Amino acid sequence: MKPLREIESELRKDAMPIVARALSERRQDETRLQKLEKIAASGDDPEAREEAGSLAEELEKQKLPVLPQLIVDDSTAEKLAIILSEQGARIASMSCGC
């Protein structure tokens, strides 16, 4: 199990900047959406309303990035299903038996 943990650690380290950037861009888009919604709510700008709707749809379709995970232990079936979905249906469920 130790080699898998080491590989997982390297994968996570390599993915951290990519995930951080994607999450930052997501937060920026969410802030932009809030501003557009305020403008659209005033009723003065139909373009802001359309842009807010388009951006909301785009954000809903985006998959939030996650750090790679190769191994889980002591997980509920529900949590394991979530992890499997996030990790592209690939995960090892192991415990050390300690």
d(CA 27, CA 59): 10
- Categorize the per-residue pLDDT at 73 as very low, low, confident or very high, splitting at 50, 70 and 90: confident
Q: Which has more confidence, 43 or 1? A: 43
How many other β-carbons are positioned within 10 Å of the β-carbon of residue 36?
A: 21
The per-residue pLDDT for range 25-41, each reduced to its tens digit, is 999 999 999 999 999 99
Q: Which has more confidence, 17 or 72? A: 17
**DSSP three-state, residue 96:** coil
pTM of the model: 0.74
CA dihedral (18, 5, 7, 10) in degrees, to 10, reads 40
pLDDT at 98 over 70: no
